[in-house]
Structure 1
Amino acid sequence: MEILMIYGATGYTGGIACNHANSLGLSFVLGGRSLDKLALLSAKLAAPYKAFGVKDASSIASALKGVNVLLNCAGPFGETAEPLMEACIGMGVHYLDFSAELSTYQLADRLGEKAERRGTMLMPGCGGSVAMLGCLVLHVLQNVEQHVASIDVALRIAGPISRGTAITARDRLSPECLQRCQNALTLQDVSNTQQFDFDDGKGPVACTPVTLPDLITVWKSTGVPNIRTFVHGSEPSTTDIATSPEGPTTEQREASPYHAAVIATTRDGNTKRSVLHTVNGYTFTGIASVECARRVLAGEAMEGFQTPAAVFGKDFVKCVSGTYIVDA
């Protein structure tokens, strides 16, 4: 029997993932650092659990015995991704996460050949912008016959963010704004905003350049040498992180859908545009990450560093109910 472990199960998005996995009737093991919290969640979901941290390699290896797929939901991923990736490679376990931190993808790229030799897959980005935008880009490119010179992608976020996201944004995200230019990551001027129409009735809006991991994943799945990533969203909350709620309520998520847009430009200057409409990002990530894990458990895996779009195809995003694409 193939075994899934959800690590960081007691966190905000980890909890959404666990609840979705449970609703599908999947068998899984809970993992995390807090024994007390795991015990409570275990009683609620009737799932076994293993408590362990990420600072001791032997403890990780022991916890992963018998596990085939690890879904890492424990951020900041700058602290958890490397020891868990290394352990998964050593144990022959497929590794998944939904990090928004560029360093996680640079790490997976560095460890890709090592994982390939071991027959394991590293798939950071099994939810969030990487899954959304990666599939949207492949959808656009299927209808472009000319050589694509550049891709601009934008994410329109909505609603409150979780405490974990706020901490990551404050402590882990690079202060530098990057773009991919002629296959290399270079600095991007944050004042270089671009207009995107998200097909939500509000017309074109100015989107701010940001460093998203899609600078690596879109390039990996398409080979397009010039990529820029943008975000449009609400103003950040001024609430103290320490006293803020763990994350948005179910009602807040339901009232705050996400949208994504892509502009592909050919060498001749022609453009192709498409927009993706989906549920709130946290809901999307919880569902999509579990669907990734379910498919990998069923044997849909490729060795080395991979992306959801490359492994599962452009229609993968449709596994999340309410997600659809409109060609502009």
Structure 2
Amino acid sequence: MKWMIYGANGYTGTLMAKHAKSLGLTPVLAGRKSEAIHRLAGELELPSVVVDLTDTQALQQALAEIDVVVHCAGPFEITAAPMIEACLATKTHYTDITGELSVFEYAHAQHQRAVDAGVVLCPGVGFDVIPTDCVAAKLKQKLADATSLTLGFDSASRMSRGTAKTSVRRLGDGGAVRQDGKIISVPLAYHTRHIDFGNGEKFAMTIPWGDVSTAYYTSGIPNIEVYIPASPKLVKKLKRLNWFRWLLRFEWMKNFLAKKIDQQPPGPSEKQLEQAITYVWGEARNDKGDVETLRIKVMNGYKLTSRGGVDVAQFILNHQPQGGYYTPSLLCGSELVEKYYVDA
């Protein structure tokens, strides 16, 4: 059984490759940058292949003998579809580390094709969205008739360049929440409230996190919002930005901002990877006013992603689930997140 990490030379892909190697696993390291891929593969003594996602024939050839791919090369709104198409053609199980709302919805829309091909489609096998998705599943178990679900997380960790670029690309689209089972577009910083994520009460705002998509498929709860801590100053800036959001939809503007991001460090420092705890919170309510709350503490999001990608790939290889679209908790169970708990 063979598996691949595509985008292995990126910040998170490298963390994942090194973690896999530490476990004695031998993924194929892949990506489009020949020098970087071969250098990493040589360092870790792992097999490698160089292939561009735009070369459909070469990509299918590269995947022909691969059983599972962990796709780590964003922005996923651009890269997910060609990889999913290639996986459906070659009957390769697909996972990725996206947090992008549109990618989850795209993958879900391919459910029947995946069933017919016997291919698992499970995006979001990292921090986006394992912890929050499992919290959603656990809250549904505690309050079966819940009609609203609020999720959130608090992390002091620096973003990777890839995450920052993805966030910038999404700004022009505004926010998103789920109402009565449907995803609706809303302004940036649409709702605010005070939340104790597990580290003291903080002012927080809504974000268009992947769970606006995935938590619905996991739990069936029709109304979903996701929050992160934010200063009142940032909230005011984002609310003002709503008037100029159209500017951020231009590709030249996205590219300009991406170049600015390239000047930043590649991601969290070693110290942050080991010490930056992430607090994850969820709250479910039913129409009678009953409330269930859950708080967990997990490892740094990028460290969790490096482990989650490996863990889910191994789960698929070992269990050979039926084809179709899955969220992480639907695939591996809500207890998956318990591997990443930390004490603090």
Could you tell me the TM-score, scaled by structure 1's length? 0.92
Deviates further, 91-100 or 185-194: 185-194
How far apart, in 2, do the equivalents of 1:161 and 1:268 lie?
39
How far apart, in 2, do the equivalents of 1:134 and 1:164 lie?
22
Q: Which residue of 2 aligns with 1:316?
A: 336
Q: Which residue of 1 aligns with 2:80?
A: 81
- Alignment-mate amino acid for residue 113 of structure 1: Q
The answer on whether the counterparts of 2:136 and 2:218 sit within 8 Å (CA) in structure 1 is no
Q: Which residue of 1 aligns with 2:216?
A: 219
| Structure with greater helix percent | 2
Q: Which residue of 1 aligns with 2:203?
A: 206
The answer on whether the counterparts of 2:99 and 2:124 sit within 8 Å (CA) in structure 1 is yes
Q: Which residue of 1 aligns with 2:167?
A: 169
- The structural deviation recorded for 1:129 is 3.2
Q: Secondary structure at the match of 2:129?
A: helix
How far apart, in 1, do the equivalents of 2:58 and 2:193 lie?
47
How far apart, in 2, do the equivalents of 1:86 and 1:304 lie?
14
How far apart, in 2, do the equivalents of 1:175 and 1:255 lie?
33
Q: 1:173-230 CA distances to partner (integer Å, 9 max, x unpaired)?
A: 5532111111111234524212221222x2x212111101111111001111111111
Q: Which residue of 2 aligns with 1:90?
A: 89
Identity %: 30
Q: Which residue of 1 aligns with 2:68?
A: 69
How far apart, in 2, do the equivalents of 1:14 and 1:55 lie?
20
Q: Which residue of 2 aligns with 1:109?
A: 108
- The structural deviation recorded for 1:100 is 1.2
Deviates further, 21-30 or 134-143: 134-143
Q: Which residue of 2 aligns with 1:276?
A: 296
Q: Secondary structure at the match of 1:10?
A: coil
Deviates further, 224-233 or 12-21: 224-233
How far apart, in 1, do the equivalents of 2:70 and 2:343 lie?
22
- Alignment-mate amino acid for residue 224 of structure 1: I
- The structural deviation recorded for 1:240 is 3.8
How far apart, in 2, do the equivalents of 1:24 and 1:46 lie?
13
Please give the root-mean-square deviation of Cα atoms over the aligned residues, in Å: 1.9
The answer on whether the counterparts of 1:129 and 1:155 sit within 8 Å (CA) in structure 2 is no
The answer on whether the counterparts of 2:26 and 2:47 sit within 8 Å (CA) in structure 1 is no
Q: Secondary structure at the match of 1:186?
A: strand
The answer on whether the counterparts of 2:4 and 2:68 sit within 8 Å (CA) in structure 1 is yes
The answer on whether the counterparts of 2:156 and 2:276 sit within 8 Å (CA) in structure 1 is yes
The answer on whether the counterparts of 1:151 and 1:227 sit within 8 Å (CA) in structure 2 is yes
Kindly indicate whether residue 282 of structure 2 is the aligned counterpart of residue 255 of structure 1. no
User: Is there any run of 5+ residues in structure 2 with no aligned partner, and where?
Assistant: 238-258
Q: Which residue of 2 aligns with 1:57?
A: 56
- Alignment-mate amino acid for residue 132 of structure 1: P
- The structural deviation recorded for 1:143 is 2.1
Aligned length: 318
How far apart, in 2, do the equivalents of 1:98 and 1:299 lie?
20
Q: Secondary structure at the match of 2:46?
A: coil
Q: Structure 1 183/313 Cα, relative in aligned 2: closer, same or farther at 3 Å?
A: same
Kindly indicate whether residue 38 of structure 2 is the aligned counterpart of residue 39 of structure 1. yes
User: Is there any run of 5+ residues in structure 1 with no aligned partner, and where?
Assistant: none
Q: Secondary structure at the match of 2:262?
A: helix
Q: Secondary structure at the match of 1:95?
A: strand
Q: Which residue of 1 aligns with 2:147?
A: 149
Kindly indicate whether residue 16 of structure 2 is the aligned counterpart of residue 17 of structure 1. yes
The answer on whether the counterparts of 1:279 and 1:323 sit within 8 Å (CA) in structure 2 is no
- Alignment-mate amino acid for residue 178 of structure 1: A
Q: Structure 1 298/131 Cα, relative in aligned 2: closer, same or farther at 3 Å?
A: same
- Alignment-mate amino acid for residue 25 of structure 2: L
Q: Which residue of 2 aligns with 1:179?
A: 177
- Alignment-mate amino acid for residue 318 of structure 1: E
Q: Structure 1 159/289 Cα, relative in aligned 2: closer, same or farther at 3 Å?
A: same
